């Protein structure tokens, strides 16, 4: 039995799957916030053209973005217990795998094969 197999968490448990789902949802929230930036800019232009104040609108968007980013940063990998998306100092919101152990949001490890030799 290899060192990895001794410390491998049971990926079939409900708790493990729930934690992994929460990690992936945190990424999805920040990505949606990031991709809505053009809509936010368009709304700012419309509000400014009408002569309305945009201060509150800007603070709300920045607060939502900050909350989602902090939520993503604090999420820990259920397999290795390290920050899922953060290496040393940088947040990687593009990846769907743990930057430390390679655990994917689908629960598959990189380069890990099933016992029968087939990779899924």
Question: Which pLDDT does position 63 carry in this prediction?
Answer: 94
- Indicate if the alpha-carbon torsion angle 103, 107, 108, 112 is positive or negative: positive
DSSP 109: B
Average pLDDT of the chain is 79
Q: pTM for this one?
A: 0.69
Contact 85, 92 (CB under 8 A): yes
Contacts of 44 (CB under 8 A, 6+ apart): 54, 57, 58
Question: Which pLDDT does position 38 carry in this prediction?
Answer: 93
pLDDT > 50? residue 111: no
pLDDT > 90? residue 39: yes
Question: Which pLDDT does position 84 carry in this prediction?
Answer: 87
Contact 110, 120 (CB under 8 A): no
Contact 19, 78 (CB under 8 A): yes
Contacts of 97 (CB under 8 A, 6+ apart): 103, 104, 105, 110
Contact 79, 9 (CB under 8 A): yes
What residue segments make up the domains of the chain, in order of their start? 13-108
């Amino acid at each position: 039995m290899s060192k990895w197999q001794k410390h491998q968490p049971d990926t079939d448990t409900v708790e493990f799957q729930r934690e992994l789902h929460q990690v992936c949802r945190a990424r999805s929230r920040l990505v949606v916030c990031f991709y809505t930036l053009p809509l936010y800019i368009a709304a700012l232009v419309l509000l400014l053209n009408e002569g309305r104040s945009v201060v509150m609108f800007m603070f709300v968007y920045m607060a939502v973005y900050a909350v989602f980013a902090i939520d993503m940063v604090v999420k820990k990998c259920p397999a290795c217990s390290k920050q899922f998306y953060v290496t040393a100092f940088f947040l990687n919101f593009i990846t769907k795998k743990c930057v430390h152990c390679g655990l994917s949001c689908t629960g598959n490890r990189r380069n890990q094969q099933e016992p029968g030799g087939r990779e899924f």
